[in-house]
Every structure is written in C-alpha cells, then in structure tokens.
Amino acid sequence: MKQKLLAAAAALGLAVSVTAGQAADTVKIGLMAPLTGSWASEGQGMKKIVELLAEQQNAKGGVSGKKIEVVTEDDGGDPRTASLAAQRLTTQGVAAVVGTYGSSVTEASQTIYDEAGIPQIANGSTAIRLTEKGFKRFFRTAPRDDEQGRMAAQTIGKLGFKKVAILHDSTSYAKGLADESNALLKKKGTEVVFFDALTPGERDYTTILTKLKGANPDVVLFTGYFPEAGLLLRQKKDMNWKVPFIGGDATNNADLVKIAGQEAAEGYYFLSPPQPQDLDTADAKNFLTDYQKKYNELPPSIWAVLAGDGFRVMVAGIAGAKSTDGDKIAGYLHKDLKNFSGLSGPISFDAKGDREGEVYRVYKVDGAGKFVLQKL
C-alpha cells in the first residue's frame, strides 16, 4: 500500500515537474506551514502573508523579470508530516523554501532541503541547535533563544543601569536566560551584584526582596514567569522599594498586571518580540494596511510576519544572486545582504544563518496596565 502511495506521489511529482518545465518563466518559492493542527492559525497567517507579498511583488514585475509562484505545502505542525511536505516541495522545482513555525518541525525538514540543495528560511523556530549543525543553506528570521539574553544585556546598558541583580527560577528557560545575560553583562563591565534563584509556586518572596535590596542594585532582571513576577512587583511595592524590574518574554501575559495590581505593575519593563500592530517601519505599516484591506484582520502573530520577511529575503536573494541556484542564493544572503529592510526591522545573517538584527523589543507597563512599546 505504502509503495503504491509512493509511486502515486512520484507520478504526481513528475506531472508537476512537467508542467513546471512548460512554464519556465516563473520562479517557484515553496512555503511550508502548519495549515492544519494545533498551530493552524499561525500557518494560515503565514500563507496569507506570503501570498499577499507575492502578489505585490508580481505587480512590481516579479523577480529577475519572472513572475513568482508560491507553492504551499502543509506540515501539520508535525515532524513526520513535515518530512513528507519537504519531499513534495523538493520535487516541484522550488528555488527556495520559507518555513516553518515549530523548531522540531523545521528540524525534521532541514536535511531534506539540504540534500536537495534548496535554501530554507525558517520563521518561528527559535531552538539554538537548528543553526549549530553546519547547514550552509539554512537561515531564519526568528531570533535564537539566546538572543533574548543579548537583548537583555543591551537594554540594561541603554537604560543606563550600572549595578544589576539577576534572579531566575531554576527552570531551564529562565536559568539559561539568566546565565546568558550574566555572562554578557560581565563582559561589558556592568556590575552584577546579585545572582540567585527563587522557588516558583510560593507566595511570599519578601525574604528574597529584602536580600535583593541589601545588594542595592539599580535594576533587577527577573528571567522567570509572570505569576512570580507579579508577586515580586506587588511585594516590592509593599516594601516601599522603588527599584525598576526587567523581565523576559515569559512575563508577557495580561495576568501579570492582575496579580501585581496596576499600581505595582506600572513601570515594569519586559522584553518580547513586537506584536504585529507595534511594527514601526514604513514598509511594515504599509504592509499591515494592505493586509487588513485584503483579509479584514491583523496577522495572528509576529511569527507569521517573520514568514513574510523570509519570503522577501529569498526574493532579494534570487534577485541579488541573479540565479535560482541554491548555493548562489545562500552565498548572497550570507555575504551581501546587509541591513535588508524587513517588516520586522533590519535583517542580516551571520555565518551560521542566524539573524543579526534585533527582533526583541522593550515593552513597559503604563499606569493603566497596558503594555507600551518603548523606543530606546
């Protein structure tokens, strides 16, 4: 049965490549997205964004004088489905592939595209290991998990804090972020006056706050989750201690303000990728207007917008390399594409294919408990 299916799939692939041969005046770009499954809303958003961008690019004359054709395959948000989707895309003569969302899903498709010599650009996969495997044609528009630590250290520097206290909660995410920030802050010569962990799930953190206060930091970086962050803010206010707090993207949750109370939450900074409506480049604003005009809604998340950036980068790569050869496109993206104006900000890639521009933004809680994007 399986063999029959494979044969059928191969025949289908053949049929498609025959039609592709006939229409050689188009450049095909693949999109691998979770159109079904639990991440379906992300996948649908990715598809809508890429299709709209392709439409706009074709109206401007396409790329290298040829029209762009988007070939979409569903990865179901599942590694096994993804490897099938990847195989289907490689047989359809795509010049490059955009996608996908989940890290493990992307991982399942990496080798397939690599063997086929097709450049791939992932949009939502943040796991560090994806770019540590030495794939020469793999890129991503998403930040890496350790990028947040870099951003934390940089933000603390920009806000002018000299003495930093770091508090985590011993989970692998929070401890990783704390270690990363600690190393970077020390390298920059910022004094880290406190580094310790609290026990998540407790109610009383005044002991920790008293100890923190004794270390007399200019700012406290808390890398854990929102329930503890809320309690810390609330009890800090009770102590009449006015030190600012900065948190990671695990505190980006509306319940934070509920737990802390509006008054205590006011002035709290946290790092997070921007919400689509907070994107501030002119390109992004125009694009969001067009998107709303066409689909009557906002993109589901920043990750879907990053798929759009992936598409634009690949188009720029094909145009820049003046070729649809995978190695030439990848070479151009690695060496020549610098500060490309992406929807989510400037895009450049390092030797590993990781994004060099900043994706994380700084948000601050205002007096009404709203999360407001900060310009630093």
Partner 1 sequence: MEEFFQQLTNGLAVGGIYALIALGYTMVYGVLKLINFAHGDLFTYGAYLGLTLLTSLALTDRLGFAMGVLVLALMVMGLVAVLGAILERAAYRPLRQSPRLSAVVSALGASIFLQNTLMLIYGPRFQVYPDNILPAATLNIFGLYLPLMRVLIVLVSVLMMVGLYLFIQKTKIGTAIRAAAIDQDAARLMGIDVNRVIMLVFLVGPALGGAAGLMVGLYYGQINFTMGWIYGMKAFTAAILGGIGNIPGAMVGGLLLGVIEALGAAYISIAWKDAIAFCVLILILIVRPTGLLGERVADKV
Residues found near partner 1 in the complex (CB under 8 A) = 170, 196-199, 201-204, 206-208, 210-211, 214, 227, 230-231, 234-235, 237-240, 255, 258-259, 261-263
How many Å apart are CA 231 and CA 206, to the nearest integer? 9
Q: What SS3 class is residue 221?
A: strand
Nearer to partner 1, 22 or 240 (CB): 240
Burial zone of 2 (CB within 10 Å; 0-12 exposed, 13-18 middle, 19+ buried): exposed
**Least Å distance between CB 210 and partner 1?**
5
Specify the residue, 234 or 364, whose C-beta has the smaller distance to partner 1. 234
| 96-98 and 245-247 beta bridge pairing | unpaired
Question: Cα 7–9–10 angle (5° rounding)?
Answer: 65
Measured from the CB atom, the residue of 66 and 213 that comes closer to partner 1 is 213
- Shortest spacing between CB 318 and partner 1, in angstroms: 47
CB nearer to partner 1: give 33 or 209: 209
Closest distance to partner 1 from the beta carbon of 201 (Å): 6
Residue 257 C-beta: closest distance to partner 1, Å = 10
Element (H, E) at 164: strand 163-168
| Min dist. Cβ of residue 194 to partner 1 (A) | 9
Distance CA 329, CA 119 (A): 7
Q: Is the peptide bond before 100 cis (omega within 30 degrees of 0)?
A: yes
Nearest partner of 290 among 30, 53, 42, 12, judged by Cα: 53
Distance, CA of 262 to CA of 267 (rounded, Å)? 10
- H/E segment holding residue 127: none
Please, which residue, 231 or 362, has the CB nearer to partner 1? 231
Nearer to partner 1, 17 or 199 (CB): 199
CA distance 50 to 65: 19
Instruction: Name the amino acid, one letter, at 283.
Output: D
Nearer to partner 1 among residue 256 and residue 333 (C-beta): 256
Best CA proximity match to 100, nearest among 137, 60, 118, 73: 73
Q: How far is the CB of 365 from partner 1 (least distance, A)?
A: 14
Tell me how far, at minimum, the Cβ of 95 lies from partner 1, in Å: 46
